[in-house]
Structure 1
Amino acid sequence: MVKKKQPETNLKRRTPVFQNVWFMWFWLIFFPPVGILLMWRRGRFTKVKRIVATLIATAYFVFPIIAVMTTTLPLYNNQKEFLEKKLKLPYSLENVKKEDETITSKLNDDVTLIENIDDNGAVHELIMVGQGEGTDIVLSMGLLIGMTNPDLSQKDVGQVLKDLRLFDESYKYQKNETKVEKNTIRYNLKYDQDAGVIFSVSKVN
């Protein structure tokens, strides 16, 4: 009995997805670390081209992260937003002086408020300068903490003031300064012999 010859079949071997060039380029664009690894493992291009591609892809991946980390976020996105918050202060803002990067106003005879703004009018920092020993300074500091951290209770606000060593008579502000971070907000307190008490509020990067 003669066996019939089976017809030959041409089976085309498929290339694994991860070995395709387009797969490498996909990751180089959308997540460079994986793309760089694939490029070097598969030996794509010459060594010089791989080095150049690695440098470009690394810069493309890292620079946006650095930019975000080094960008200081504003306390308020615009002046209107901050003006609405300022209405909570039990003072009338007097002698308001606006310059390119700052807005200075007097809360009363002892307390001055400075707003540091950018070109778009966003408020990046609040600085309260207080002179004298009146309760208005402590009250203004408490109000600024409450304005910039509205979720804090009165007890929490008091704790921030305590952590700033405001009520510690033995603490030498002339030589030191204190800093407290609460819910992405940084509070800084120091004393200058000429200016007086300087209390600043800004966003934590």
Structure 2
Amino acid sequence: MQTSVNLRKRDLVFERAWFMWFFLILIPPLGIIILWRQGRFKKSVRWIISLIAILYFLLPFIVVATTKVPLFYSHDDVIAAFNKAKKELHTPYQLKTIEKNDQTITSQITKDITLVENLDKGGQVRELIMVGQGEGTDILLALGTMIKATNPEFSKSDLSSTIKDLKVMDEGYHFTDNGVTVKTQSVQYNLKYSDKAGVIFTASRVD
């Protein structure tokens, strides 16, 4: 007799409204199943509640999927990443900010190499553009530093492979006619050449 009474009490827990609402909020898919098993409300009301619960469950995934992650969250993050990369690669450069506005921040890497940060409305860095002329060694080292700064987990082998894929060392490739784009897991790089500006190297977040 005692056993049947305990079973009845456990059954009643599953039939209570709070139990259904608890799971509709905490685990919506399970809450929907309980809603329909309990048979509460009219069918039309159950469909409405189910639809709201599904949207509530999917909303975080939709937000994450539609939110564009910036390349860097601030100019300070760019400087920190650049300084860390130059230290690891033993390159001699220092970012010196020369101009700021709402849309861009311009810095010098050397007197012949400039870095432009394209900003969104919130001041986050969406894209880096390195423009430079001058000695090939400086261009190559600055290029390597920028790749390492935007992909800090890269090993030296990864860095060399990316530079090779960008055809930097390919003397037969005509950058004035064709740019080169290389995608890593998180960052896309583009390299081209202009007679006026020189080397134009772009780094942006992969969508």
TM-score when scaled to structure 2?
Answer: 0.73
In structure 2, what residue type is equivalent to 1:84? Answer: A
Q: Tell me the residue number matched to 2:130.
A: 128
**Contact (CA 8 Å) 1:124, 1:202: kept in 2 or not?**
yes
Tell me whether 1:18 sits opposite 2:14 in the alignment.
yes
Q: Where does residue 38 of structure 1 map in the other structure? A: 34
Output the amino acid matched with 2:21: W
Query: Which amino acid is 1:69 matched to?
Result: A
Aligned to 1:141: 143
Q: Which runs of 4+ in 1 moved over 6 A?
A: none
Task: Say which one has the larger Rg.
Answer: 1
Number of corresponding residues = 194
TM-score, length basis structure 1: 0.74
What amino acid sits opposite 1:80 in the alignment?
Answer: D
List per-residue Cα deviations over 1:119-166 (Å, max 9, x = no partner). Answer: 554434322234578333222110112223334333321112123343
The residue type paired with residue 116 of structure 1 is N
Distance between the aligned counterparts of 2:74 and 2:139, measured in 1?
26
Give the counterpart letter for 2:105 in structure 1. I
Specify every segment of 5 or more residues in structure 2 that has no aligned partner in the other structure, as ranges: none
2:181 to 161, 178, 182: 178
Distance 1:172 1:33 in 2: 56
Letter in 2 for 1:32: P
Q: Residues 17 and 200 (structure 1 numbering): CA distance in 2 closer, same or farther, change over 3 Å?
A: farther
Q: SS of 2:201's equivalent?
A: strand
User: What CA distance in whole angstroms lies between the structure 1 residues aligned with 2:164 and 2:130?
Assistant: 17
Letter in 2 for 1:35: G
Relative to structure 1, the CA distance from residue 144 to residue 190 in structure 2 (aligned partners, 3 Å threshold; closer, same or farther) is closer
Counterpart residue number, 2:188: 187
Distance in 1 (alpha carbons) for counterparts of 2:199 and 2:38: 63
RMSD (Å), alpha carbons: 3.2
TM-superposed deviation, 1:47 = 1.9
Structure-2 residue corresponding to 1:150? 152
1:27-48: per-residue Cα shift (whole Å, max 9, x none)? 1111212212222333321122
- Structure 1 unaligned residues grouped into runs of 5+: 1-9
Do the aligned partners of residues 33 and 135 (structure 1) sit closer, same or farther apart at CA in structure 2, a change above 3 Å counting?
same
Among 161, 168, 177, which residue is 1:166 paired with? 168
